[in-house]
Amino acid sequence: MAAPLHPQIEALLQREDSTTGLDGEGGTPDLATLRASYLQAALELGGEPQAVARVEEIVAAGVPVRVYEPLGGSPAGAGVLLWHHGGGWVMGDLPGFDHVARELANVTRRWVVSVDYRLAPEHPHPAAERDAAAVLRWAAADGAAHFGWETDAIAVGGDSAGAQVAVAGALAAPGVAAEQLLVYPALDAAMDSESYEEFAAGPMLTRAAMAACWTAYLAGGTGPVAPLDGSDLAGLPPARIALAGHDPLRDEGARYARELEAAGVPVDLRVFDDMTHGFLRWGGVVDRAHDLIAWLARAA
């Protein structure tokens, strides 16, 4: 049984504008409406964007990215964090995760590259994973040469679906990433864990919504995807994994942590017991979002 919800989450649940576009209720909006709703929620709940030293939008290995240099400039020997946004593989974009990327850059004191990987259903699995692998290889070559970050300090990270994309990209480009920084990763299309039973109706994220996302991502199929597909995890870098207590995805994130440890990969796992799925994006109204980013930064 999860701890009681944090009062700030309780208040957010009462707000009419708290929808993430993933509640699975009230019918199925068209894709454009879902994406617009997801972006609007991020902009309204994310808080004031932090200033950074610079932001540059480029195309990296064919993938649009937004590059952030931390306020005050990147210190000598700084690494880079490649961040893959959440949104169930069907939503999310660079503007919607701008405030998260800025804070990640400033708190971790490293470059952050926000990756605009291709979305389903227009581009189903494995398009997003191929984009992630391409950007990872770029970061170790042309990206490092252009921006100056250290090639032995490249981290991959992401929240929810983006965490799965990040890890799958690292598996496809072995030996490049030095860290995994993952927030409530979406990893198991079977959706048969105890946390899926406990939180099938939410709050914030429902089993029905995740089923729709998995269907879009897998183009109607139900086959396994990396990393919980029998992939060899032994070559992956150390991981820092944050989970939310009131989240259907909680148990699959914990399972991934156990499988990494069984493969000999160091893991630092933290469960934010009083939080729901999505809280990383709500820094304007949920203080735990900043606690989460500060905890992730300890790996820097």
Active centre residues (catalytic): 160, 247, 277
Closest residue by Cα to residue 91 from 163, 35, 39, 157: 35
Q: Which residue carries 């952050």 as its tokens?
A: 112
How many Å apart are CA 23 and CA 212, to the nearest integer? 11
Question: Burial level of 222, CB count in 10 A (0-12/13-18/19+)?
Answer: exposed
Beta-strand (E) ranges in the chain?
54-60, 63-69, 80-84, 111-115, 154-159, 179-183, 239-246, 267-276
Residue 174: count other Cβ atoms within 10 Å of its Cβ.
11
How many Å apart are CA 163 and CA 156, to the nearest integer? 8
- Beta-bridge partners for 243: 271
Dihedral sign from CA coordinates of 113, 114, 115, 116: negative
